[in-house]
A and B are shown apart, each in its own frame.
Chain A
Amino acid sequence: MANVALCSDPLSFSVYDTPSDGGGSVTISWQAPVESKSIPIGSFVIFRKMNEEVSWSYLASVKAENGLLEDRTAVDGVNYTYKIVSYASDGASEWVCPYQVASKAQWFDSDRLPVLVGVLVCLLALAGVALLHKKGKPFDIRPIRGLEAVDEAVGRATEMGKPVLFTPGWGGDIQRPTTIAALNILGHVASKTASYRCDLIFPTHDPVIMAAAEEVIHEAYIEAGEADRYKAENVFYTTSSQLGYAAAVDGVITRYKPAAIFLLGTFEGEALILAETGNSIGAMQVAGTDSTIQLSFFMVACDYTLIGEELFAASGYLTGDAKILSSVRAQDFMKILIVVVLLAGAILVTFGMVDFAGWIGKS
């Protein structure tokens, strides 16, 4: 039986500029007829030619069961025509796309539209809560034990005549929101250590974080009127190696025996090494991280653990800044929204509206 008869036309043969890309790509898609699966078609071979060319150039050979090819060698703005040829034992048959296509770079990635919607919703929630606050509607934040313990920890260190140690973990860099959140708490801790005249040690693995921390601590000491008590040598870079950093901080903990340890930031495998060492010297430990795996270690080894968004709420909680507190309240609104979306998604899936539910899920 001739293959041509069965595969008279690949279904939905289409050629188009690849959507949501940076250009230089044309997508060729087709769907082989069901019958072809039982017929020994060797492969589909794709050819293309530019608008002025007469002869076809070989592009790629694709297995019969696949129905999609991205031509990533296309040049933006050049018109191409494509044809598909299927080869079988008794001959070849070909289909030429009747129209020309040129690739073009897009400015907007439509695949990320749900993310944009999410960001806009966050901004709206922030603006809405800020507006409510301006209208004078007060709101409270639930007590966060880990943050209330900051003063207690610094006070304890002062009474014992021992230093306070603060380290932001090995996993983060200055671009990470967790590091920014940790530096916000550092500012508050530094204010307390300055007021209580207690030493604050800050070892880190990242020289950029070191520079930022120096600034935060120094400013806190100046504000507390204790600029002369600021010790630049207590804020230091250790090493960028994970276990080298863990060993260095462990060394500081075992030698100087700080009475209070703050492990706040992005922690990875070194989390438990540091937390257990701190525990072994009897230090009061306050920890918080964005890693759910390390959180469980902190919970068993530390006295207080900031879970989930508590670390990010610290700045507003500790300073009482109305604008920051508004954003914390906005987070609560977004949480409610997420719960509503989750319920809506579950209901939509139950009633078979999978596509819409999938779009919501992406958001």
Chain B
Amino acid sequence: MLSKKIPIAVCFLFGLFGLVQYFSPHPAAVSAYSTVLDWVQIIFAFTLLVGVVSLLQIQLKHVSRKEKYWGYSIVTIVGILVMAVFGFAGGTERGTAFMWVFDNMQVPMQSTVFAMLAFFVATAAYRGFRLRNVEAGILLAAAIIIMLGRIPIGEMISARIPETAEWILNVPSMSAKRAVLIGIGLGSITTALRVILGIERSYLGRN
């Protein structure tokens, strides 16, 4: 029982502290909050170590058992170890081996993944704008107006198109967005209060 009660009590105390300090500009409250944030960073650093060690263990297990796709595990292990050696031996400043690998391998690979987004947007838009029913038709019409409103040809066709596009974005779209945001805000507040009050315990494992 204590294994559940202690985390709930800690959560209540720190949750309450977080709530109270938000309303206080006093240096004592600000300093205490800053200390708590430092603790969070320390916990994160330790768990990062746990995370990296766990990742290495899993990948080593894949290789030792020659599981399916074990070749990818070798790439991961080599990547982690090489970057760790470069970082600890030569530092992470500009001009070091660590930064050279980062700039010439990591950055291009990240750019490649990001570039895929353009194609994914195209396929998602194709699926989203298919004329299946009345609602999809309204969505398609709104999308066409907004797309035309954002390019010079839209204004050339009619000055009303950019105006209508702005209206769609600022009135129906914005009101729907705000309704969703109000729901998210209320959901966040009640979830936070449930956690602070110990009503919500699922994140500690099942009851």
- The number of A-B residue pairs with CB atoms under 8 Å apart is 201
Cβ-defined contact, A233 with B113, below 8 A: no
Cβ–Cβ < 8 Å partners of A32 in chain B: none
Assess whether A290 is interfacial by the CB under 8 Å rule: yes
Cβ–Cβ < 8 Å partners of A191 in chain B: 206
Assess whether A335 is interfacial by the CB under 8 Å rule: yes
Stretch among B42-50, B89-97, B148-156, B161-169 lining the A interface? B42-50
Query: What CA separation (Å) do A181 and B116 show in the bound complex?
Result: 29
Cβ-defined contact, A218 with B205, below 8 A: yes
Cβ-defined contact, B124 with A272, below 8 A: yes
Assess whether B131 is interfacial by the CB under 8 Å rule: no
Cβ–Cβ < 8 Å partners of B29 in chain A: 107
Cβ-defined contact, B186 with A335, below 8 A: yes
Interface of A is mostly: helix
Cβ-defined contact, B177 with A292, below 8 A: yes
Cβ–Cβ < 8 Å partners of A184 in chain B: 200, 202-203
Assess whether B137 is interfacial by the CB under 8 Å rule: no
Cβ-defined contact, A323 with B24, below 8 A: no
Query: What CA separation (Å) do A334 and B128 show in the bound complex?
Result: 33
> Which chain A residues in 306-336 approach chain B with CB under 8 Å?
307-313, 315, 319, 323-324, 327-328, 330-331, 334-335
> Which chain B residues in 164-207 approach chain A with CB under 8 Å?
177, 179-184, 186-195, 197, 199-200, 202-206
Cβ-defined contact, A210 with B110, below 8 A: no
Which of A187, A207, A308, A309 is B48 in contact with, Cβ under 8 Å?
A: A207
Cβ-defined contact, B124 with A276, below 8 A: yes
Cβ-defined contact, A106 with B128, below 8 A: no
A292 and B181 in contact, given A207-B47, A312-B190 (Cβ under 8 angstroms): yes
Query: What CA separation (Å) do A81 and B163 show in the bound complex?
Result: 56
Min CB distance B20 to A, Å, is 10
For A122, give the chain B residue with the smallest CB separation: B189
Cβ-defined contact, A272 with B125, below 8 A: no
Which of A109, A216, A330 is B24 in contact with, Cβ under 8 Å?
A: A109
> Which chain B residues in 16-48 approach chain A with CB under 8 Å?
19, 22-27, 29-30, 40, 43-44, 47-48
**Number of residues on chain B facing chain A (CB within 8 A):** 65
Query: What CA separation (Å) do A177 and B185 show in the bound complex?
Result: 10
**Number of residues on chain A facing chain B (CB within 8 A):** 80
Min CB distance A26 to B, Å, is 15
Which of B44, B189, B202 is A183 in contact with, Cβ under 8 Å?
A: B202
Min CB distance A253 to B, Å, is 13
Cβ-defined contact, B190 with A327, below 8 A: yes
Query: What CA separation (Å) do A103 and B19 show in the bound complex?
Result: 26
Cβ-defined contact, A119 with B19, below 8 A: yes
Min CB distance B1 to A, Å, is 14
Cβ-defined contact, A233 with B58, below 8 A: yes
For A293, give the chain B residue with the smallest CB separation: B177
Stretch among A155-163, A234-242, A353-361 lining the B interface? A234-242
Cβ-defined contact, A334 with B124, below 8 A: no
Query: What CA separation (Å) do A307 and B180 show in the bound complex?
Result: 7
Assess whether A105 is interfacial by the CB under 8 Å rule: yes
Assess whether B109 is interfacial by the CB under 8 Å rule: yes
Binding site for A on B (CB under 8 A): 19, 22-27, 29-30, 40, 43-44, 47-52, 54-55, 57-58, 61, 68-69, 72, 106, 109-110, 113-114, 116-117, 120-121, 123-125, 127-128, 177, 179-184, 186-195, 197, 199-200, 202-206
- Known contacts A108-B24, A122-B193, A315-B191, then 12 further A-B pairs from the complex at CB < 8 Å, ordered by chain A residue: A22-B30, A119-B19, A177-B191, A184-B200, A208-B47, A273-B120, A300-B124, A311-B187, A312-B188, A315-B202, A324-B194, A327-B193
